[in-house]
Structure 1
Amino acid sequence: MSTDLGDFLRSRRARIQPEELGLQAFGRRRVPGLRREEVAQLAGVSVDYYIRLEQGRGQSVSDAVLDAVARVLRLDEVEQAHLRDLARPHKQEERPRTAQQRVRPGARLLVESVSGPAFLLGRCMDVLAWNPMGDAVIDFSGRDDRTRNQARDAFLNPAAREFYLDWQAVAAETVAYLRLEAGRRPRDKRLAELVGELSLRSEEFRRLWADHQVKEKTYGVKRMLHPVVGRLDLGYETLALPGDPDLLLVVYTAAPGSEAAEKLAVLASWTAAPSLG
C-alpha cells in the first residue's frame, strides 16, 4: 500500500497552491501544487521524514504528524481516516470472511419491512437483498449475482448511463467509495479483483481511480430515467447495521405529496398488480 499512500499524498498536494497558504511561489515548478519541502515545513517535520512517509516507510508515524500533514493538506474527516488507513496498514485486523456474504434473517426482514425502495449493500458493493419497491425502481431480480453489483453496473452496464441522469456523479461517488474501502481493507482479495476488473474494462474507472478521491456512502439524491414512470428524483439514506459493518441498508426517499412520491405510488400499484402471464 506504500504506492497508494504516496499517490494519495501527491494528489492532495497537487490541489493546493502555495499562495493559498501564504507561501511565495519561487522558481519553476515541475508539478502543480505544494512541494514536499513545503508540506514538511508547514507540518513541522523534516523533509526527509516527510519523504519517507510518502514512500510508505513511516510505519511508526505518530498521530501528531498525521494530524499536522492532514491540516496542511486540508483533508476532511473522511480523507483523514483514509490517510491513517494507508499509513498504518499493518494495524488493520482483517476479520475472516466467507467467499459468499450472507444476510441474517433479521436483516432480511428489516429491508422487507421498509415501505419505500430499499436494499442491502454488502462488501464490494454487492446488492444482497431488496424489497419489492427496490426491485421496482432498480430491477434487481432481473440480474444475476455477478451483475447485481453497483460498481459493475455503473461502469460495465451501458444502460446505466441512460438510467442515471447524473451518471458522471454516480460513477465518481462509486469510485470514491471503493477507494475508501480499499484503504480500510488492503488485504481484501475480492475487492482487489473487482478494482482490477473495472480498471481493465473501463477507461472512465481508471481515470477516476487515479484521482484518489475518497467518500463515504451516506446520503444524497439519485436522478433516474425509469422505463415505466419516466424521470424519478429520489433522495437516499445509507445506514450501517449495528454489529455488521459490512452490511449497509440503503433506502430511497420521496417527500410526501411530491411528484416522486406519486410516481412511487404508481410503481407500488404496478408491482401489486396480478400477473396475467
Structure 2
Amino acid sequence: MLSNLFKTSPLLDNATKNWILDTFSWALREFDLNVFKQDSQLILPIHEFYPGKVNSIEEMAQSVFEHTLKYAGMQHWPIKLVRPDNYQQSPMAKLSFTDGMRGSQSQIVNSDYSENNNATILVSYNPSQINQPQDLVASFAQAFASILVAQRGVLPPGGEEFVPQAVDLLACFMGFGVMFANTAYQFKGGCGSCYNKYANREVALPEQEMLYCLALFTTLKEIPAKQVATHLKSHLRSDFKKAMKEIKSDLQQPNNSALLIDQI
C-alpha cells in the first residue's frame, strides 16, 4: 500500500529497546535512585561544567578527572589519577558503603584492604585525548561506571556478556549521555591529520543505542529536548528527535511504565 511508503522504521529493534529499558531499570535499582532523582544532571561539553585554565597535559587530565568524578557522585571514593607511565593494574579493593554508593551522603565504612591502607583505585588517561576533551570525559566516565559495576557485584540484564554495554548505559544514567553519543562514532575520512584513532574511546553502545539511552534519561529527568539536541553533533539530532518520540510511546506500554516511571 502507498501508506507503507511513508512509514519510518523504528530507531532500534524491540529486543534492543527492551534491553535498554530493563538495564536502565537495573541502574535505578542498584545505583542510587535518590541520587539520580535529586543530583544527576545533564553534563554538557561547555565551560560551565569544565571551567578553568590549565598549563599542561597533566593539569588538563587532573581537572577533567576531578569534575567528572564529582558529577558521577563518586568524589568520596579513593580513586586517584596517575600518569600513564605510572599506571599499574592491580586487584581492586572491595569497598563497603553507608547511604548508597554515590552522592554527598555516601560514606565508605570498610575496605578489604583496610589492614594495610591500600584501598586506592588507580585510573589513568590517554594523552592523545587531551585535544578531544569529550572523548577524555567519556573515557573517565566509562572507567568510573566500570568501577561501580565491579563494586556492586550485580550483573546487568543479559549477564556478564553485556557488562561493557551496561557500563556505557550507566555512564549515560549518570549524566554523560551527550558526550557518549558524540564520541560513539569517529569519522575516518577527510584530512589524515584530523583523525587520530588512538584518541578515540572504546565504544560498546553505538550511536543509535546511545541516543535512545540519552532520550530515556532526558525524558525521566524532564529535560527539554532542545537543550540536549543543541549540544549533539548535527548528524545525530534527527535520530535523537526520533528516539524522544519513541521513548514517549514505549513508556506508555504497561510493562515499561511499571518498570521505570513508578520508580521515579
TM-score (norm: length of structure 1): 0.28
Determine which structure has greater relative contact order: mean sequence separation of CA pairs < 8 Å that are 6+ residues apart, divided by chain length: 2
- Compare the two structures and name the one with the higher strand fraction: 1
Rg: which structure is higher? 1
TM-score (norm: length of structure 2): 0.29
